[in-house]
Chain A
Amino acid sequence: MAGQVQALRRKVRSVRSTKKIAKAQELVATSKIAKAQERQSAAKPYAEAITGVLTELASNASIDHPLLQPRPRVLRAGVLLITSDRGLAGAYNANAIRTAEGLISRLRADNKDVALYVVGRKALSYYTFRGRPVEASWTGFSGEPTFADARKIGESLLAAFEAGADDTETTYGPDGIRGVDEIHIVSTSFKSLMTQSAGSRFLAPMQVEEKKREGGPKPSYEFEPEPEEMLAALLPKYINTRIYAALLDSAASEWAARRRAMKSASDNADELLKTYTREMNSARQAAITQEISEIVGGANALAAAGSDE
């Protein structure tokens, strides 16, 4: 009996420390969500401005840039998957990976080969554990991505996209590098504190909407340098901006998912604590009752033995 009480006491202690960890993680996540959202809104002016410039350019210049032209034959598609570095984030990573897997099987059904690019240790370990090749991976910044991270990713994706232009079914073209013909991005978008949804989008080639002007003549822009040249300089930057936005959105989602997971973990711990404490109390009470009845029984036996003499 005393042993049982001891065991329960140990359980209570361990649940209590687990709860402390979950609670601390929850508080950290709560403050990180706010920070992540701040960064998202801080990045918005640039994204809006660059989209505006791009739209103006596209409506004023001929847009036959390789990044804007769908390729007639898509042999290989690149998939950029964004996950977190650390776990304890509920179904966040599982959802992102599941979405990516869905996309990959769709691409394979269309006879497209798939090249995987992953962000975050979770997706990396998922694929290396299953022995599936990963073209490139970036880890160590999922919670707080910077633009420099996005640029690194963008540069290698664009290099792969450019290298893919001359690939044919049998050879990898004069450059000898196996590239990709289109790029998809799988990331999680932050809808609210309770909902984050993973989804996939096209990253390249992209479509630019030409602005339809209502009435009045178009303002005639001057360009320095020539529009085509500027488009070539601007598009890679725009891709980087898109990647950066996806990273920020995913980071906010990651923290929101983690906060929710940690909240339910600490709620569960509370419940367990209550159950275990009840069990422990009743075990202790049972032990005391038993001891008393043993003493009483013993005393009665002694008294009975004494009166017999």
Chain B
Amino acid sequence: MAKQLHVEVVAVEKKVWSGDAEMVVARTTEGELGVLPGHAPLLGQLKEPSQVRVKLAGGEQLTWDVTGGFLSITGTGVTILAEEAATAAPATAAH
């Protein structure tokens, strides 16, 4: 099995989601970025507003609308910090 990313999505008032995923896609102020396991450490500010997509192993995809967000990638995983994170409608299979 391919290596997995440990992902945590935390909003101010509660932890939204945590688990293992194959890939995280987020948009920082500089541009869109996909994170795969083994990514170099990175701190980023997310674009306002933006969506964060987490692709799970089974091909399933979770999406949140995030405001006031930051992204932190360390050796141990990915943390998405948001003032607010709301579950977005599951992305229609356009991609």
Which residues of A are in contact with B by a Cβ distance under 8 Å? 39, 42-43, 45-46, 49-50, 52-53, 56-57, 146-147, 151, 219-225, 227, 229-230, 233-234, 237, 240-241, 244
Cα–Cα, bound, A39→B13 (Å): 7
In the complex, residue of chain A having the shortest beta-carbon distance to the beta carbon of B68 = A237
Which 8 pairs between the two chains have the least Cβ-Cβ distance?
A224-B44, A42-B14, A224-B28, A224-B30, A222-B42, A147-B12, A219-B41, A45-B10
Report chain B residues within 8 Å CB of A241. 12
How close is B41's CB to chain A, nearest CB, in angstroms? 4
How close is B27's CB to chain A, nearest CB, in angstroms? 10
A-B pairs with CB below 8 Å: how many? 81
Counting chain B residues whose Cβ lies within 8 A of the other chain, the interface size class is 20 to 34
Cα–Cα, bound, A56→B83 (Å): 20
A219 pairs with B29, CB closer than 8 A: no
Cα–Cα, bound, A71→B82 (Å): 31
> Which of A49, A223, A234 meets B79, CB within 8 Å?
A49
A45 pairs with B8, CB closer than 8 A: yes
Report chain A residues within 8 Å CB of B33. 224
B43 pairs with A53, CB closer than 8 A: yes
A–B pairs, 6, beta carbons within 8 Å:
A50-B81, A147-B83, A220-B41, A222-B40, A233-B45, A234-B45
Report chain A residues within 8 Å CB of B75. 219
B87 lies within 8 A of chain A by Cβ: no
How close is B69's CB to chain A, nearest CB, in angstroms? 10
A224 pairs with B29, CB closer than 8 A: yes
